[in-house]
């Protein structure tokens, strides 16, 4: 369980960056200019209508001075939720995947 600057486990990547932008009183245009990214794309990222790349996640973490690992975890968990949220066997699949990851780490 992690919580960074009141951004807790259940927050999505988009919610975290939108909250950070608003707390800093930045408009989309400013963030877009700083990150060399179209403001419409940032808006879609905030609303969860578009998925960022890992490189974009790192750019946002650096720009907003957020914990990089926490933001990557939020992004990765969003990806997993997106793929599994409507699957009846999602919880069981996650448990098996966790064991597979542990096994692969141990054998590498």
What is the tens place of the pLDDT at every residue in 5-54?
444 567 899 999 999 999 999 999 999 999 999 999 999 999 999 999 99
What is the model's pLDDT at position 71?
94
What is the model's pLDDT at position 37?
97
With contact defined as beta carbons under 8 Å apart, do 79 and 8 qualify?
A: no
What is the model's pLDDT at position 7?
46
Per the DSSP assignment, residues forming a β-bridge with 8 are: 3
Q: Which tokens in the block code for residue 49?
A: 């209508």
User: pLDDT tens digits, residue range 84-103?
Assistant: 989 999 999 999 999 999 99
What is the model's pLDDT at position 1?
34
Cα distance between residue 30 and residue 39, in whole Å: 8
Cα distance between residue 33 and residue 80, in whole Å: 30
Q: Give pTM, 2 decimals.
A: 0.82
What is the model's pLDDT at position 2?
44
| C-alpha dihedral sign at 19, 21, 22, 23 | positive
What is the model's pLDDT at position 9?
60
What is the model's pLDDT at position 8?
53
């Amino acid at each position: 369980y992690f919580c960074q600057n009141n951004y807790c486990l259940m927050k999505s990547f988009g919610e975290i960056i939108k909250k950070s932008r608003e707390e800093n009183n930045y408009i989309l245009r400013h963030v877009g200019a700083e990150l060399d990214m179209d403001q419409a794309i940032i808006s879609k990222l905030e609303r969860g209508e578009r998925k960022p790349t890992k490189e974009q996640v790192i750019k946002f973490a650096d720009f907003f001075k957020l914990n990089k690992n926490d933001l990557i975890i939020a992004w990765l968990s969003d990806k997993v939720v997106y793929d599994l949220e409507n699957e009846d066997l999602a919880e069981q699949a996650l448990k098996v995947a966790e064991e597979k990851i542990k096994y692969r780490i141990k054998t590498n």
